[in-house]
């Protein structure tokens, strides 16, 4: 269950999640209607607001819990013996891409959140993203093999540059989803771009 603390019946929860991800992903926060959500979920509006105080509460709760689910999926597949920072990033990218295909509605919703411009939720989203990103980085990159870096390199700054680079790549890929569906973005093209940056950064920072 995604909303464990709310004690929602699992079958109703699935209907709410599927309906909300679909409506929010298709319309964005501002234009999404709770009337449409309850209609697709086949529940009453009273029941929806029994669990969630407002549309904003539903939206942010959905983002938090689906991001958590995505992280759990990554952690279940991730090779924790991998200590090379570049191979870790490559591995996570590939896992995420496979999840895009496995959970299209969930991923479409998360992509729409990244593209959301509504001031009603934007600051809350950014705060949640900062918190969740920090947690995931601490877990995934806590045991990096620092011996591979060149002597004299400021490793902390090098790692910052690496993260910034791949955040930029991820942002470009997310931007593509504004005009293309997830299915239209080829995995080999994404990995080819990732690999080109890996090669460049390895030559700059590794021995």
Is 179 a residue whose pLDDT tops 70? no
**Of 51-55, 85-89, 105-109, 133-137, the least confident:** 133-137
pLDDT at 105: 78
Q: Is the entire prediction scored with pTM above 0.75?
A: no
Q: Which two tokens stand for residue 112?
A: 């729409």
Instruction: State the pLDDT confidence band at 14, using cuts at 50, 70 and 90.
Output: confident
Question: Which domains are assigned to the chain?
Answer: 59-205 (1.10.357)
Q: 2-16, 63-77, 95-109, 114-128 — which one is most confidently predicted on average? A: 114-128
Residues in the chain: 207
Q: Is the dihedral of CA 122, 123, 127, 128 positive or negative?
A: negative
Q: Is 187 helix (H, G, I), strand (E, B) or coil?
A: helix
Alpha-carbon Rg for the chain, nearest whole angstrom, is 19
Query: Among residues 60, 92, 52, which one has the least CA distance to residue 75?
Result: 92
What's the Cα-to-Cα distance from 198 to each of 7, 25, 163, 203, rounded to whole Å?
45, 32, 11, 8
Q: Are 33 and 117 in contact (CB under 8 A)?
A: no
């Amino acid at each position: 269950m995604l909303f464990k603390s709310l004690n929602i019946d699992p079958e109703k929860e699935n209907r709410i999640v599927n309906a909300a991800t679909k409506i929010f992903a298709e319309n964005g926060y501002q234009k999404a209607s709770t009337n449409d959500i309850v209609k697709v979920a086949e529940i009453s509006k009273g029941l929806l607001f029994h669990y969630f105080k407002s549309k904003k509460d539903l939206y942010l709760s959905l983002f938090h819990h689906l991001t958590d689910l995505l992280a759990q999926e990554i952690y279940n597949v991730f090779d924790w013996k991998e200590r090379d920072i570049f191979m870790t990033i490559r591995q996570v990218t590939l896992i995420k891409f496979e999840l895009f295909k496995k959970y299209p509605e969930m991923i479409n919703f998360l992509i729409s959140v990244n593209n959301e411009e509504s001031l009603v939720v934007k600051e809350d989203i950014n705060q949640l993203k900062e918190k969740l990103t920090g947690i995931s980085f601490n877990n995934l990159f806590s045991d990096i093999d620092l011996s591979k870096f060149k002597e004299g390199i400021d490793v902390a700054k090098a790692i910052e540059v690496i993260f910034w680079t791949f955040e930029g790549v991820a942002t470009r890929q997310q931007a593509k989803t504004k005009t293309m569906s997830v299915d239209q973005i080829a995995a080999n093209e994404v990995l080819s771009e990732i690999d080109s940056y890996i090669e460049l950064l390895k030559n700059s920072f590794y021995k």
